[in-house]
Amino acid sequence: MAKYILADLVRVRTLRKDRVERELLAAKERLAEAEKQVPICEKELEDYRNWVDSEINRLYMEILRKSVHKASIDDLTYAIRSLREKEPEYVKRVQDAKEDVKKAQKLLEEKKNERILAQRNLKKLDAHKEEWMAEQAKLEEFLSDKELEESFRPKGANEVKFQKTLI
């Protein structure tokens, strides 16, 4: 039987499908990693807030135990303000982690759609290949039947004259 006429295209589409499946797997892993980061970042934020609260309480207790000058109160206010200034960084990390999850989910959906398309394209070629192979089998059967018919055909008058001239 002859080589399938679209064999190269089948190979290319198979490679594309395999590549898309690898990318889909990578997207799933990326989503899983991004989803792991959200609770970690939220825990860091919660731990920071708890630490800041305990640190502020400690600083207040230090001030309450001794006689205080205005400079000490200003220092306390500055220390509390500087502790609170870092909180937005932790909040931003949580937001970034959640945004990464959204991006990873979107990428995963895109890769799923690409895989569906790649599988559909490959199935179309498989269906075409089956039809082509059936046609090739019919053609080969027809040609072998025709060859068989020609070998059993009685020699006509023209063929006999042609053979006599050759002798």
Residue 154: CB atoms within 10 Å: 6
In a domain, 123, yes or no: yes
Provide the pLDDT confidence category of residue 64 given band limits of 50, 70 and 90: confident
What is the CA 75 to chain-centroid distance, rounded?
Answer: 54
Domain limits for position 105? 7-166
Whether 1 is in a domain gets the answer no
Through-space distance between the first and last CA atoms of the chain, rounded to whole angstroms: 39
Instruction: State the pLDDT at residue 101.
Output: 95
Residues 98 and 38: beta-carbon distance below 8 Å: yes
Q: How many domains does the chain have?
A: 1
Query: What number is the average pLDDT over the span 41-52?
Result: 94
- The answer to whether residue 158 scores a pLDDT higher than 60 is no
The mean of the pLDDT values for the chain is: 86
Q: Is the dihedral of CA 131, 136, 137, 143 positive or negative?
A: positive
- Kindly give, in sequence order, each residue whose CB lies less than 8 Å from that of residue 113, ignoring residues fewer than 6 positions away: none
Closest CA to 48 of 84, 18, 73: 84
The yes-or-no verdict on residue 110 having pLDDT over 80 is yes
Read off the CATH number of the domain in which 140 is found.
1.10.287.1700
Q: Give the C-alpha separation, 4 to 153, whole Å.
A: 33
Q: Which residues are CB-neighbours of 2 under 8 A, at least 6 positions away?
A: 136
Q: For residue 115, is pLDDT > 70? A: yes
Q: Please write the tens of the pLDDT for every residue from 125-147.
A: 999 999 999 999 898 888 888 88
pLDDT value, residue 28: 95
